[in-house]
Amino acid sequence: MSGPHVEFRVDPSGYRHWRLDVDGPVATLTMDVDEDGGLVPGYELKLNSYDLGVDVELYDAVQRLRFEHPEVRAVVVTSGKEKIFCAGANIRMLAASAHAWKVNFCKFTNETRNGIEDATAHSGQTYLAALNGTASGGGYELALACEHIMLVDDRSSTVSLPELPLLGVLPGTGGLTRVTDKRHVRRDRADYFSTRAEGLGGKKAVAWRLVDEAVPRTAWAETVAARARELAARSSRPEGAEGIALTPLEKTRTGTSVAYEHVTAELDRDAGAAEITVAGPAADAPADIAGVHRQGAAFWTLAVTRELDDLILDLRANEPELGTWVIRTSGDARRVLDHDRLLLDARDDWLANEIVLYLKRTLKRLDVTSRSLIALAEPGSCFAGSLLEFALAADRVYQLDGVFEDVDPDADPAAVTVDAMNLGPLPMGNGLTRLETRFLGDGEGLAAVRDAAGKPLEAADAERLGLVTFAPDDIDWDEEVRIAVEERASFSPDALTGLEANYRFPGPETLETKIFGRLTAWQNWIFNRPNASGPEGALRRYGTGRRADFDRKRV
């Protein structure tokens, strides 16, 4: 299965696998997977197992809780099935899927888990996993993303990571990393747990820190409700706030383009490239944060972030052969900076905070996307503040020195502007800003860039400060850009994925960089090996009654 065309725009009225119920400060997300609701024919989603379609709905629900329900302070994640929480990713789906589909599925699932952790850490919406039955594989990994894990103590319910003993692969949505780095399970215990297909339950699961508490079934509902109230009481979420509706995204997709209100992408299949243009605000920023609330989902920063988020997901899932993304901007840099400052000046407002956090998560999604990123700063562009981050995320940045003499000799030269949004609010997965990452070990260079904050920098100054890679004039511009794109298309896509994943995240290693680094390298490799995916591998033979035939050589 190479994978169907995937649409990431969903709405609660169309959910097939989740129910979202809000009762004052506590929301409940109930996983009740429709067995016949897989994205493609050929497998049944039994035992609350999931595929990408299930995770798309979960991602949408997490987003809506943050923007549409500011009154919610705690979120209970549980199951609508008796004695089963979630059996993890559907094995038949994985076995039938192409390699790229499996890896990208794991990547999106990880990003959703990270979003749950981000909501707990920064939005005052603490997630509680109420495991009313066995949670295995990806089901337990979903629980690991929650702040507090409760497991029903009924002598049969367990938590497990059975991927290695049963499937010959690894827990691909951060399971091993979260067990050791987040829950601080001892290495020897983690080793035993991850090689024991049946897992652990009851008091031992608590003692080993795999869950936080085991609760008898007779006291289950009462204890879950009490714990949710306790978590809600800790929240800084505002009282009496009114949410905003995440209205449907307007999107037009053809075989050669994807278009939204503020973002367009031209799909050049011959060049293996997507030409992405992000338009700055068409109007001035509102006078105050009350205006942001009135505009709701139409507020430019939120609108453009939603569009970019959807585009990144669309291109990743549906256009794997467009390996180079060329990023441009257009518009008024002053308006971009005014929108940024309005949000940062009102960061104690829940909506302003959520918009900045969403922009942070979308940029992180770009960082871990296995595509070559080239940013082009030309006359009329607005790489400033929040939009400059998309250039700083790129593998190379080209800024035109001067103007296109044959097109518009009277145009203002391209400029880039560093501002407050680049100096802290939008960290990467390594915990550093993109500027700190760019100038790692170069304190003087970083200080010089900070000193230039707020100043539009033309090509010579931007190149001198290290903000752009090259600054060709209009004579060399077309040729240099063409060569860069054509050269990228000539390289091995696999080698480029490894190359980019290595140098995009210098500096500290964090939970996030470990998860995505391991996914890109280890799980990517393991998924592709005969021991897992070959005709006699564990994934292929699972459920047939025949054992996998492993090549016993260690590599």
323-337 tens-digit pLDDT: 999 999 999 999 999
Position 55 scores a pLDDT of 98
Q: Confidence class of residue 525 from pLDDT cuts 50, 70 and 90?
A: confident
Q: Confidence class of residue 521 from pLDDT cuts 50, 70 and 90?
A: confident
Q: What is the CA radius of gyration of the chain?
A: 24
* Mean pLDDT of all residues in 124-141: 98
Contact 518, 171 (CB under 8 A): no
Q: Same fold for the domain at 14-233 and the one at 253-503?
A: yes
Position 172 scores a pLDDT of 87
- The residues spanned by each domain of the chain are 14-233, 253-503
Position 15 scores a pLDDT of 97
Distance of alpha carbon 521 from alpha carbon 517, whole angstroms: 6
| Token couple for 189 | 């215990």
Contact 322, 267 (CB under 8 A): yes
Indicate whether 81 pLDDT > 70: yes
Indicate whether 373 pLDDT > 90: yes
Indicate whether 262 pLDDT > 60: yes
| Token couple for 129 | 């996993």
* Mean of per-residue pLDDT scores for the chain: 96
pLDDT digits 0-9 by tens, 387-425: 999 999 999 999 999 999 999 999 999 999 999 999 999
Evaluated on CA atoms 235, 239, 241, 247, the torsion sign reads: positive
Burial class (CB in 10 A: 0-12, 13-18, 19+), 153: buried
Position 113 scores a pLDDT of 97
* Mean pLDDT of all residues in 524-536: 89
Position 543 scores a pLDDT of 86
Domain 253-503 has CATH 3.90.226.10: yes
Ramachandran angles phi, psi of 130, nearest 5°: -105, 90
Q: Confidence class of residue 2 from pLDDT cuts 50, 70 and 90?
A: low
Distance of alpha carbon 39 from alpha carbon 3, whole angstroms: 9
pLDDT digits 0-9 by tens, 216-245: 999 999 999 999 999 999 998 988 899 999
Position 3 scores a pLDDT of 65
CATH of domain 14-233: 3.90.226.10
Distance of alpha carbon 127 from alpha carbon 148, whole angstroms: 7
% of the chain beyond a pLDDT of 90? 91
Position 176 scores a pLDDT of 94
Q: Tell me the three-class secondary structure of 515-544, residue by residue.
A: HHHHHHHHHHHHHHCHHHHCCCCHHHHCCC
To the question of pTM greater than 0.95 for the whole model, the response is yes
**DSSP string for residues in 222-237:** HHHHHHHHHHHHT--P
Helix-helix angle 300-318:99-122, to 10 degrees: 150
- 76 has which bridge partners? 28, 128
